[in-house]
Amino acid sequence: MPSTAQADRLARSVLAQRVALRPGETVFVEAFTSALPWATAFVREARRIGAKPLLHFEDEESYWAAVRNHREELLGNPGDHEWAALERTNVYVYFWGPEDQARISRLPEPTYAKLTAFNRRWYETARKSGLRGVRMAIARATPANARFWGVSPETWVRETLAASTRDPADLRSTALRLSRILERGSRVRIHHANGTDLTLALVGREPVVGLGQVTPATRKTRFGMMQSVPDANVYVAVDEGTADGRLVANRRNSQFGEPVTGGSFEFSGGRLRSYSFDRGAAAFQEGYRPGTAGKDRPSFVEIGLDPAIRVSPGLEESEAGALTVGIGGNTSFGGANTSSFFGFLTVGGADLYVDERAIVRKGRIV
């Protein structure tokens, strides 16, 4: 459980630096049981600013009781009163839940689909209302989830809090410099002593800078009214027809709802020819095998920026100097691949060259 000082520091930082909350605005805070100490700090800070907060609390046990009783449709279809509140919201703060990620990962796909049936309407409503929102990753740093992912809960909270309270302006100049290099470059090479040696091609696409901050630029994109906190990376869609070599991951992949480790992608002629994992292969294959055309094509390359992140699940890509390569669909960030599958691997401590120029050396941005 966080101290009051920690929770207040997080609320002050996020409301001021990530969503620029103003006096008189309405604030919708949503949280599950374990995140309440963080969420109530946002209520206090909103009132200190002169804004009008509403706290929407979901009890963890009550949530799972509904699932046990096969009432998923009630959870996945909120009432009109909740939609009405969202329509009148200026700033939305979401603390991820339910908190038991191991339990979520065991849900049958039809059940999970019912629980998240609101998603499309939610974004449509948020877009129309013009809200500015953030998804708070610190809600996931619970003792139960730490056991599931095999990390220290204290380290997880410490890293996430440090990254979430960092002023995005501290990383902006580095992010913009990397963005310019990636936009103007034509060839990328990633190398690491673990066997990674991969070449990709750039085709002048505009990179995306993710700093966990809602800005006029992010709000122009489809889902840009909602940003993840923390977030610190630069990524760009690559040429979908060029990829040769191998990428060997040395960072966990938490994309698939369970720990996926020891991943390896082998490319030739612009296609993924083989892959392997030490752990979690079934989780990857569950999405990859039924994926549509283009699932085996290179998708993007990403550079992490945050020096606070090292082991926090779900934030591996944001580690300073970490390099991530994706496969599959990439239209959401400027690419042409419409595949239904999207996956990636991350290597830390590697070298990145753009047109023979060293950009990252042994995980340090140079």
User: Domain residues of the chain, as ranges?
Assistant: 4-164, 169-365
Closest of 226, 219, 209 to residue 168, by C-alpha: 209
The whole-number pLDDT of residue 41 equals 98
What's the pLDDT at 257? 83
Q: At what angle do helices 80-87 and 119-129 cross, to 10 degrees?
A: 30
Q: Which CATH architecture has domain 4-164?
A: 3-Layer(aba) Sandwich (3.40)
DSSP per residue, 129-148: HT-EEEEEGGGG--HHHHHH
The answer to whether residue 221 scores a pLDDT higher than 90 is no
Question: How far, in whole angstroms, is CA 75 from its chain's centroid?
Answer: 23
Helices (H), 262-306: 281-288
Closest CA relative to residue 263, chosen from 209, 175, 324, 313: 324
pLDDT digits (tens, 9 = 90+) for 290-324: 999 999 999 999 999 999 999 999 999 999 999 99
- 23, 48 contact by CB (below 8 A): no
CB-neighbour burial class of residue 73 (10 A; exposed 0-12, middle 13-18, buried 19+): exposed
pLDDT digits (tens, 9 = 90+) for 67-95: 999 999 999 999 999 999 999 999 999 99
User: Is the whole model's pTM more than 0.85, yes or no?
Assistant: yes
Give the mean model confidence (pLDDT) for residues 254-279. 94
